[in-house]
Amino acid sequence: MFSGLLWIISLAGLKEGYAQTIYASKACAIDLERDPNTGQITGCPNPTYFFDQDSTSNNWVWSFGDGQPPIGGMRNPTWYFQSTGTYTVSLFKTNQSGVQTRVTKEITVGAMPQQPLFNGQPSTDTTVCSGSPLTLNPFGLTNPTLNNYDYLWFPGGDTTKTITVDSSGCYSVEVFDKVTRCSRTAKITVNFCYEPASSGGGNERWYFGNGATLEFQGTGEVAERDSLAESGSVFGEAEQDSVVYQPIPGGSNPLNTNSATAMVYGPSGALAFYTDGVNIYDGNDEQILDSLGLGTLSGNNTASQAVAIVPKSNCNECPHHQYYVFTKDKDTGLLSYSVIDLRYNEGLGMITERNVPVAYDIADKLAVRSVNDGAGFELITHSENGSEFQFMTLDTLGLITRRQTLGAPYANEESQNGYLVYSTDQELLAQGVVINGQNYVQIFAYDPDTQQWSQINSIELGISAPPSVYGLSFNEDNRFLYATISGNPSAGETSYLLQIPLFLVDDATISSEIEIISSSTTDQYGAIQLGPQNPQAPRGKQLYMVVNGGSQIAYIQEPDFQGGPAAVGFIDVANGVDLNGTSGLGLPTVAYAAQNQEGGGVSATYFGNCFNSTTALETQNICDPMRNEVLWEFEDGTTMKGQNVNYTFPKLGWNKIKATITVYNTSQVKRVIDNAILNQIINLTETECTEIVLEDSIYIKPSPEISLTPPFYVCLRDNPVDPVVIDPDVTGGDTFEYLWQTSLGVPLTVGPRDTAQYIQIPDTYLLDVENNFECSTQETVLVESGCIPDTQFPTAFTPGGMNPTFSFYYKHTDNPNLKIYNRWGEIVFETNNLDTTWNGTLKGSPVPTGVYAYVLTYDAIDFPEWGRQKEVGSVWILR
C-alpha cells in the first residue's frame, strides 16, 4: 500500500515545500477506545484534521511523525495522536504534471482536560423537585485543576465553573485546558418535576432570492378526545386535529442571491440562522461574525446548490448547538466549512472556525442526509468533471470521506449545475445530467449492508438541451420524481415542470409516461421542493417551484397524484403566494436540530369504557424516578390508591375522575441501597416534593344486555331430534352482531350471524353480542338433555260423526290419570291408559250434548323431581 512512498523518497530532485500548504486543525492527545468486536474507534476521540491546500495535487502520502505507518490516497485525512508533544507531519504529494513534492508542518499535540461529570457520568439525566434551583457542578466540590480550565455552558453561554438552573432542559459544559485549548464535554438533562413543556418556535419560513420569504402556517381545529374510543389519554391537553400547512407571505429578509440558500432551525424550533454562502445571518437578521469581527465566507451566491448547513455531532453535549456551514467558492472550486456556535452572543451565535478547506474541484451541488440513526450526518458532493461522488460523514469521529464512481460524468456545465436530492426516506438519490445533448435524471439506491450506492434508473426526459435539467424533488412516497427544465427566455428557450413516474417497470416506460405539468417561454423555472421541511410536519406536503425574478411562487397541491396539472392541483406562479420579494433560481436547504422535549405534564391512560366492564386507569413516568403515590376518586365516593387501578363506572355517559398525585423527594440513601424491604422503611423518611390534582371525565358507552328464558332442553328420545330454538332479546345499542360458539370457542355458523340459534346437541354454548359502540357482552347458555312432556287436547268431538272419540296427543309422560267430569262434578270417564279413548257414553248410554271438564295428571318421564303435573281443560260433545 505504501510502496509509492518509498518510490517518492528515492526520486532525485524531490522538491521541498512549505508547511503553509497544509491545513491542520487543533491537535489533542486522544485516549483511543476500540470496539472489541469490530476494532473500530468509538467514544469521543475528536481527531486532528489535515488538508492539502495545493489545488494541483492529485496523489498524497502522509506521515504524522508518531511512529505509525504512513497513509496514502487522500487529500484530507484525520489522525489520532495518542501522546502529547511536538510532531513533524510530512506530506509526499504529486501534482498534475507528475512533480513530486515533500512538505512538512510541525504539530503541537496538547493534553486533554479531566473529563467533566454529572452524577459520575459524562452523559446523564436527573429529576428534581420544581421550585428549588439546581446547581450544576461538573467537578464536584473540590478539584485542584479547576483554575487551569475555562468553561462554556449551553444553552446560556455561561463561562463560570458552575451554573444554577431553574427550568427543565438539556445542559452541557465544555471544559477547555487554558494552555492547549483541548476540551471535553459533559451533559445532563434536567427535569423539574411537573414543569409544563416549553413552547415551540413558531412557523417554518423559507428565505431565498432577493428578500423572498415563504411561511408555512399550520391550520386545524382543536381535537377533542374521541369519547367513544376504548382507550386513550386522560389529563392531557387538546391537540390540533388534521393539521394542514398553508403557504402564506412571510415578511422579508436581507438576502440577495440568485442561487440556493441554507437555513437551520434550532432545538427550540425557532430559526437559528441562515446563509446565502457569503454571509450568515442570525434569527434577528443580523450578520454573524467571528471573534475578530470577520464574517465573510469563502463561498459565493452564484453556485446553484453549493451551500449547506449540517448539525455538528459531539459526544456528551446537547444536540445541537454547533453547526457546520459548507460553502463552495465557484471561482476556485474549493469547498470549505465554517462552524457556528450558538452558545455565544446570548444564543444568536458566533463563527468559531471560518473557511476550513475540505475539497477541491466539486460541482455546484451539495446534499445532506442523516446517518447512524441520527447520530451523524453525511454531506454528498460530486466531482466537477468526472463521475465520482464524495460522501463525507460528519459525526463524533470528525470528518471522514469515502468516494464512489456512479452514473454519467459531469462532462458539461449543464450537468455541473442544478440539484442533487435525496428521497424523503433518504434511501434514494437523484441527479440531473445532460448526456449527448439530451436531459436525463439518474436514480441511485442505497444498500445499508454494503454501505454502497448503485444506479437503478437513467431516464431520458425527452427534451433536448439546452434548456437543461435543474430542480429535482421526490414526492413523499417516492413514487414520483419532479424535475424542472430551466430555459432562458432571452435565448428563446422553454422551461418545463415534469412529473416522472418512478413506480413504472423500466426506464423506457417511465420516459414514455412523463407528464408535463407546466411549461413557459417567458418564465425561467428554478428549484423545486416539498414544504415544509420540518420532519415532524404531517404527510400531504405540497411542492413549491420558484421562477427566476418572480414575486410569487408556484406550487403543486397534490404531488402524490398521477397526471397533468389538474390532477396534481397545479397553481401557476401568476396565482401563487406572494413572496414580499423576488425569487431567484434557488430554494433553501432546511435543517432541523433535534427538538427539545424537556418538561411535560402527567402521562395517564385509560383502557375500556363499556358499561358493566372494568376500566383500567394508569399513570406513567410521573417525575420518574421520583416516588409518587396516586389517589383516584370517583363520583360515587369510591377511592382507590395506586398507579394502576381497575374500576367499573356505575352509569352511562360522562363520569368524572380525579387523581391526586403526591411526589416525594428521593432519599439519598436509596442511591446506595437497593433493597425492597429497606426501601419501604426509607420511604417513610422521604419528604413531599409536590402535589398535583387533576380532573377529567371518561365517557362510558352502553353494553348489550341479553335477556334469555332458560332452561333449554333437547329430547334425544325423538327421531329425528327436534332442535331447541334460543332467541335472545337484546337491548343496549342500535345494532348488534351475534356470535354463537361452542364451549371450546368454535363458531356454530359461517357467514351471516343470526339472532336465533337452533341447537340439537346438549352442551354449554357461548353467545357474544357486540353493539354499534364496539361493546360486547357474553352469555353462557346451557342446553341439557331432557324430554319435556307434551300434551295436545281437542276442543270438541262428535260421537257417531267424523271425530267419534275424545283422543289427544301426548308424549314423554309417565303414570298418567285422566278424569272427565259432567256439569255436576260427576266423573263420567277415568283411565290410566291414555291410549284408551272416551266415546261420549256413560255406562253404555250417550251423555247429553254439552261441555265436559277434564283433569290429566302425570309424571314427567325425564323429570321425576318435578312431581305430579296437571293439565285442566274442557271439551264439547256435539251430536
Q: Indicate the residue type of 29.
A: A
- Using the structure block, give the residue that is written with the C-alpha cell 319435556: 788
Between strands 776-785 and 712-714, the pairing is parallel
335, 257, 312, 167 alpha-carbon torsion, rounded to 10° = 170
Q: How far apart are CA 353 and CA 148, in angstroms?
A: 23
Domain closes at, from 523, 558, 592: 592
Strands (E), 468-576: 468-474, 480-486, 495-501, 515-520, 525-531, 542-547, 552-556, 570-571
Q: Do 770 and 865 fall within a single domain?
A: no
Query: CB-side exposure of 173: number of CA atoms within 13 Å?
Result: 27
Give the CATH number for residue 846.
Answer: 2.60.40
Q: Do 395 and 525 fall within a single domain?
A: yes
Q: Do 257 and 384 fall within a single domain?
A: yes
Residue 13 β-bridge partners: none
Q: How is residue 606 written as a grid cell?
A: 385509560
Q: Do 729 and 778 fall within a single domain?
A: yes
Residue 193 β-bridge partners: none
Give per-residue pLDDT as tens, 146-157: 678 999 999 999
Domain closes at, from 109, 135, 168: 109
Q: How far apart are CA 813 and CA 563, in angstroms?
A: 81
In DSSP notation, 621-655 reads -TTTTS-EEEEEEETTS-EEESSEEEE--SSSEEE
Q: Indicate the residue type of 337.
A: Y
Between strands 845-846 and 841-842, the pairing is antiparallel
Q: Do 250 and 265 fall within a single domain?
A: yes
In DSSP notation, 206-237 reads EEETBBEEEEEEEEEEEEPP-TT-SEEEESPP
Does 750 reside within a domain?
yes
SS3 187: strand
How many domains are contained in the chain? 6
Q: How far apart are CA 188 and CA 155, in angstroms?
A: 12
Distances (CA, A) of 862 to 528, 746, 835: 87, 30, 20
Q: How is residue 156 written as a grid cell?
A: 446560556
Query: What integer pLDDT is reported at residue 751 of this predicted model?
Result: 59
Between strands 868-877 and 796-797, the pairing is parallel
Q: Do 628 and 497 fall within a single domain?
A: no
- pTM assigned to the model: 0.79
Does 116 reside within a domain?
no
Does 224 reside within a domain?
no
Query: What integer pLDDT is reported at residue 45 of this predicted model?
Result: 77
Q: Find how far residue 752's CA is from the centre of its chain.
A: 39
Residues of the chain short of pLDDT 50, as ranges, are 1-19
Residue among 308, 523, 316 at smallest CA distance from 421: 308
H/E element, 683: helix 676-683
Does 311 reside within a domain?
yes
In DSSP notation, 86-155 reads EEEEEEEEEETTS-EEEEEEEEEEBPPPPPP-BTTBSEEEEEE-TTS-EEE-TT-S--TTGGGEEEEEET
Residues 776/800, Cβ–Cβ less than 8 Å: no
Query: What integer pLDDT is reported at residue 689 of this predicted model?
Result: 85
Query: What integer pLDDT is reported at residue 239 of this predicted model?
Result: 57
Q: How far apart are CA 580 and CA 572, in angstroms?
A: 17
Does 117 reside within a domain?
no
Residue among 815, 836, 741, 663 at smallest CA distance from 129: 663
Does 197 reside within a domain?
no
Alpha helices in 538-578 (DSSP H): 565-568
**Which residues are CB-contacts of 280 (< 8 A; sequence separation ≥ 6)?**
273, 274, 287, 288, 295, 297, 325, 338, 340, 349, 351
Q: How far apart are CA 63 and CA 103, in angstroms?
A: 11
Q: How far apart are CA 61 and CA 100, in angstroms?
A: 11
User: How crowded is residue 174: how many other Cβ atoms within 10 Å of its Cβ?
Assistant: 25
Q: Do 860 and 728 fall within a single domain?
A: no
Question: What is the Cα gyration radius of the chain?
Answer: 43
Q: How far apart are CA 764 and CA 748, in angstroms?
A: 12
Residue among 591, 624, 46 at smallest CA distance from 316: 46
Q: How far apart are CA 208 and CA 295, in angstroms?
A: 19
Give per-residue pLDDT as tens, 586-630: 999 998 877 665 555 677 899 999 999 999 999 987 888 888 899
Q: How far apart are CA 238 and CA 235, in angstroms?
A: 10
Q: How is residue 458 written as a grid cell?
A: 437513467
SS3 422: strand
Residue among 586, 591, 499, 489 at smallest CA distance from 545: 586
Domain closes at, from 592, 615, 643: 592
Q: Do 149 and 104 fall within a single domain?
A: no
User: How crowded is residue 751: how many other Cβ atoms within 10 Å of its Cβ?
Assistant: 6
Note down the domain range covering 136. Answer: 123-192
Residues 623/193, Cβ–Cβ less than 8 Å: yes
User: How crowded is residue 613: how many other Cβ atoms within 10 Å of its Cβ?
Assistant: 16
Q: How is residue 586 written as a grid cell?
A: 434557488
Q: Do 371 and 408 fall within a single domain?
A: yes
Q: Do 615 and 689 fall within a single domain?
A: yes
Query: What integer pLDDT is reported at residue 206 of this predicted model?
Result: 96
Q: How far apart are CA 481 and CA 409, in angstroms?
A: 21
Q: Do 661 and 714 fall within a single domain?
A: no
Q: How far apart are CA 564 and CA 519, in angstroms?
A: 12
Q: How far apart are CA 272 and CA 809, in angstroms?
A: 97
The residue count of the chain comes to 879
List for the chain the helix, strand, coil content (%; round to 5).
5, 50, 45
Backbone CA torsion sign across 753, 758, 762, 764 = positive
Give the CATH number for residue 24.
Answer: 2.60.40.10
Query: What integer pLDDT is reported at residue 9 of this predicted model?
Result: 34
Residues 209/580, Cβ–Cβ less than 8 Å: no
Give the CATH number for residue 402.
Answer: 2.130.10.10
Residue 393 β-bridge partners: 378, 400
Does 861 reside within a domain?
yes
Q: How is residue 840 written as a grid cell?
A: 261420549
User: How crowded is residue 119: how many other Cβ atoms within 10 Å of its Cβ?
Assistant: 10
Backbone φ and ψ for 566, nearest 5 degrees, come out as -70, -40
Q: Do 45 and 84 fall within a single domain?
A: yes
Does 145 reside within a domain?
yes
User: How crowded is residue 672: how many other Cβ atoms within 10 Å of its Cβ?
Assistant: 6
**Which residues are CB-contacts of 509 (< 8 A; sequence separation ≥ 6)?**
none
**Which residues are CB-contacts of 798 (< 8 A; sequence separation ≥ 6)?**
804, 877, 878, 879
Q: Indicate the residue type of 137.
A: N
The helices-and-strands tally (H runs, E runs) of the chain is: 5, 69
Query: What integer pLDDT is reported at residue 340 of this predicted model?
Result: 96
* Sheet of 796-797, strand order: 796-797, 868-877, 850-860, 813-821, 827-831
Residues 74/92, Cβ–Cβ less than 8 Å: no
